[in-house]
Structure 1
Amino acid sequence: MKVFDGHNDALLRIYQDPTPTTFQAFLDGDSQLHIDLAKARAGGLAGGLFAIFPPSPMAGDLSDRMSGRGYDLPLPTPLAHPAGADATVAMASILLRLEAASKGGLTVCRSVADIESAMAKGSLAAVLHIEGAEAIDPELHMLDVLSAAGLRSVGMVWSRDNHFAHGVPMRFPSTPDTGEGLLEPGRRLVKRCNELGILLDLSHLNERGFWDVAELSDAPLVATHSNAHRLCTVSRNLTDAQLDAVAASRGVVGLNFATAFLREDGRMDSDTPLDTMRRHLDALLERLGEEGVALGSDFDGATIPDAIGSAAGLPALFEHLSKAGYGDALLERIAHRNWLSVLGRTWKA
């Protein structure tokens, strides 16, 4: 089963290593990452959106603070535009350098045709995506530059506020209705992304911002890595009303493997059975239909179930789903066809 995945943080992990070690290990296949070229081949990971997340200074790892019966982590301090731009350019450079050093093992893709070509050749199809648009100035000059460099997907916020919108805090239990809607630069960003054919990722955006995008955008609504709120009442998940809006737009939601967004108790705990993931897929299929559900693993950005462990463990999920009655055609849609379809209906290239 060839898998196209909606979200990973491998570039951040490489960026955070001050030595060339993790960069080379990604290529050689002996890294501690969830994704490297060898793990991708072993698990059938054929491509995905490679996120650029400009980290907040001193934010640290949130996972250890999401293990109690409830939590309400304060939003990190907003990141200044120059720091966001520096980190974003550095991680974009890492992706381009990986492509050059991989000897055909990884291809940076700018169109669905590029993705299909890379997948056919067995080259990991990497799409440039940003999670937290602090690199983009309110006048959107940097958006044009990044688009020309290959940017094809924008999440305007991570879980912190910026000059475009408000992110949801990591809060359990909580609805995603945690603040105000889009700011004026955010409304301009939606329109310009529509003009450029850049996908808008609604994951991490609060509920009022979600509805603002739904009103403004003429593109399918997409949440690259979010789950069903009715099964896990964490602020990051989507309500049934939001899922219905995604379905009405012929959009897609990618199942997030982060255990805190899967488990009924909202805990980051790797001892989470695959059946918990299946129940979220069932719920998403109920609201979105077979054409609206995909994968958005959050590899290298979260605690994931031990039963998967890394990209090499993806076949375990598909075997579990097959035994639960998911047919081959549906599995193929979830694995990659739904992503390629929505990208084709969003991108202009």
Structure 2
Amino acid sequence: MTAPFNQPPIFDGHNDLILRLLRGSATAEGVAAGLPDGHIDLPRARSGGLGGGFFAIFVASPSNASERHDAMVQPEYDLPLPEMIPQDEALTVTLEGAEALEALEAAGAVTICRTVDELEAAIHGPKMAAIMHIEGAEAIDPDFEVLHQLHARGLRSLGPVWSRPTIFGHGVPFRYPSSPDTGPGLSEDGKRLVRECNKLNIMIDLSHLNEKGVDDVAAITDAPLVATHSNAWAVTPHSRNLTDRQLEMIAESDGMVGINFASAFLRPDGQMNNDFPLDLLLRHLDHLVKFLGEDRVGFGSDFDGALVPRDIADCAGLPALRAAMKDHGIGDEMMEKLAWRNWMRVLRKTWAA
């Protein structure tokens, strides 16, 4: 009997649903019951086979979305980075984000998971499995009191930066064409942050870090190197994507990369335009598997934070991705690895559980 195209469940390396809750464009109850827009809600997750993922808590900078879109459909672009956000301001938003994730759990939309055993149970259940993730560590103080408090609350994954700078390091700008070598590496506080996360078994996310920052993490960490939502620079030479040298480092560490669905990071021309076939996503998949092997690649959609391919559209469209992968020659065993087993493998190593 052929498996339905909403199976196996896909565990997702990154989504920005919490940002929608913080902005008031969605509610926890709406996510549980179904939303008229956006990329993720529980009914569509069940329909598409989204088993769960990393739910990012992100402190947004003021921005003009239309200006950003207009820039990213040009043949070349280089968007200026926003200013650093003060720690007290970021902490307020981050705590609100943690409350929003907890509200999703109370509404019956997600199960917040702190161990791999909890994840493996939840992704096959009626609710989405959720990892608390922070994208950009502006809320974290240099004494790490907030880090410990959030860890006790369920934090299990952290990106030292989004793209704007923090006291810990520097991110890449939204620049095409560009290598990720765009500035200095981690600060001394950033290096201490990596060591403290290692002690707490909090995963460090390399996505958005610049090249020197990735090198610094690799030199310090005792955990696998993981980029939750990044693509192959050799296919799309965007600053946000990973070079072959970086992929070799990730493979050597027995780490992992989640393929980002954002159109500008998938298209070879770097355009923020979702009118393209899933063959382009499969080109990134093939390149990543070439360097990382089939045990170190998964997905990191950036749902609710990016313009995703038209043939996927939202989490209910994930069967189209599975169908494209099957047509591409990916068999059942590799399909399960890419969909969720690889994430469980690397998290079990990282969380030491």
TM bracket (short chain):
over 0.9
* Letter matched to residue 21 of structure 2: I
Q: CA deviation at 1:59?
A: 5.7
Give the distance between the partners of 1:121 and 1:169, measured in 2 at CA.
Answer: 38
Deviations 1:300-344 (A, max 9, x none): 000000100000001101101101111111111010000011000
Aligned to 2:16: 9
1:32 aligns with 2:37: yes
Give the distance between the partners of 2:233 and 2:215, measured in 1 at CA.
Answer: 16
Query: Would you say the 8 A contact 2:54–2:133 is kept in 1?
Result: yes
Q: Of the candidates 219, 230, 242, which is equivalent to residue 238 of structure 1?
A: 242
Q: Percent of counterpart pairs with the same letter? A: 52
Aligned to 2:113: 109
Give the distance between the partners of 1:209 and 1:187, measured in 2 at CA.
Answer: 9
SS for the counterpart of 1:235 is coil
Q: CA deviation at 1:122?
A: 2.5
Query: Would you say the 8 A contact 2:10–2:49 is kept in 1?
Result: yes
Q: CA deviation at 1:179?
A: 0.2
1:99 aligns with 2:109: no
Q: CA deviation at 1:31?
A: 3.5
1:339 aligns with 2:343: yes
Question: What does residue range 185-200 of structure 1 map to in structure 2 within 5 Å?
Answer: 185-200=189-204
Query: Would you say the 8 A contact 2:29–2:107 is kept in 1?
Result: no
Aligned to 2:56: 51
Give the distance between the partners of 1:31 and 1:186, measured in 2 at CA.
Answer: 40
Question: What does residue range 44-193 of structure 1 map to in structure 2 within 5 Å?
Answer: 44-58=49-63, 60=65, 62-102=68-108, 105-193=109-197
Query: Would you say the 8 A contact 2:28–2:103 is kept in 1?
Result: no
Q: Scaled by the length of structure 1, what TM-score is found? A: 0.97
Gaps of 5+ in 2: 1-7
Q: Of the candidates 259, 280, 285, which is equivalent to residue 276 of structure 1?
A: 280
Give the distance between the partners of 1:30 and 1:100, measured in 2 at CA.
Answer: 17
Deviations 1:120-166 (A, max 9, x none): 33221011000000010111111000000000000010010010000
Aligned to 1:255: 259
Deviations 1:9-46 (A, max 9, x none): 0000111117xx54332111123120110111011001
Deviations 1:78-130 (A, max 9, x none): 1111111111100110110111121xx42011111111121233221011000
SS for the counterpart of 1:120 is coil
Q: Mean Cα displacement is larger for which, 112-121 or 192-201?
A: 112-121
Q: CA deviation at 1:202?
A: 0.1
Q: Of the candidates 185, 205, 210, which is equivalent to residue 201 of structure 1?
A: 205
* Letter matched to residue 120 of structure 2: E
Aligned to 2:28: 23
Number of residue pairs matched by the alignment:
345
Give the distance between the partners of 1:59 and 1:154, measured in 2 at CA.
Answer: 26
Query: Would you say the 8 A contact 2:259–2:299 is kept in 1?
Result: yes
Q: CA deviation at 1:64?
A: 3.7
Query: Would you say the 8 A contact 1:219–1:346 is kept in 2?
Result: yes
* Letter matched to residue 338 of structure 1: N
Structure 1 stretches (4+) deviating beyond 6 angstroms? none
Query: Would you say the 8 A contact 1:63–1:302 is kept in 2?
Result: no
Aligned to 2:46: 41
Deviations 1:271-318 (A, max 9, x none): 021000000000000000011100000000000001000000011011
* Letter matched to residue 159 of structure 2: G
SS for the counterpart of 1:121 is coil
Q: CA deviation at 1:232?
A: 0.4
Q: CA deviation at 1:60?
A: 4.2
Q: CA RMSD in A?
A: 1.2
SS for the counterpart of 2:123 is helix
Give the distance between the partners of 1:203 and 1:332, measured in 2 at CA.
Answer: 23
